[in-house]
Amino acid sequence: MPSISYQLYSSRDWDAEETFSMLAELGITEVEGFGPYFEDPSRTAVMLEANNLKMPTAHFSLDFVENNPERAVETAKALGIQVVVIPFLASSDRPTTAAGWKSFSERLAKASEPIVAAGLQFAWHNHEFELSPVEGVMPLDLIAAASEDIGIELDLAWVKVAGQDPVQWLERLSGKIVAVHVKDVAPQGENKDEDGWSDVGHGILDWAAIKRAMDTAGVERYIIEHDKPSDHKRMATRSLASVRAF
Residue 90 CA: distances (Å) to CA of 61, 85, 95, 127, 158 = 11, 16, 10, 11, 16
pLDDT at position 96, please? 97
Strand partners for 7: 32
Residue 175: CA atoms inside 13 Å, Cβ hemisphere, count?
A: 5
Q: What is the pLDDT of residues 8-38, one digit of tens each?
A: 999 999 999 999 999 999 999 999 999 999 9
Strand partners for 102: none
- Asked if 171 and 217 count as a contact pair (C-beta separation under 8 A), the reply is yes
Q: How many CB atoms lie within 10 A of CB 28?
A: 19
d(C-alpha 42, C-alpha 30), whole Å: 17
Burial of 13 (0-12, 13-18, 19+ CB in 10 A): exposed
Amino acid at 192: K
Amino acid at 218: G
pLDDT below 50 — which residues of the chain? none
d(C-alpha 207, C-alpha 210), whole Å: 5
Three-class HEC string of the chain: CCEEEEEHHHHCCCCHHHHHHHHHHHCCCEEEECHHHHCCHHHHHHHHHHCCCEEEEEECCHHHHHHCHHHHHHHHHHCCCCEEEECCCCHHHCCCCHHHHHHHHHHHHHHHHHHHHCCCEEEEECCCHHHCCECCECHHHHHHHCCCCEEEEEEHHHHHHCCCCHHHHHHHCCCCEEEEEECEECCCCCCHHHCCEECCCCCCCCHHHHHHHHHHHCCCEEEECCCCCCCHHHHHHHHHHHHHHC
Q: For the chain, what are the domain ranges?
A: 3-245
pTM (predicted TM-score): 0.97
Q: 3-245 — its CATH code?
A: 3.20.20.150
pLDDT at position 1, please? 84
Q: What is the pLDDT of residues 85-123, one digit of tens each?
A: 999 999 999 999 999 999 999 999 999 999 999 999 999
pLDDT at position 11, please? 98
- Asked if 78 and 116 count as a contact pair (C-beta separation under 8 A), the reply is no
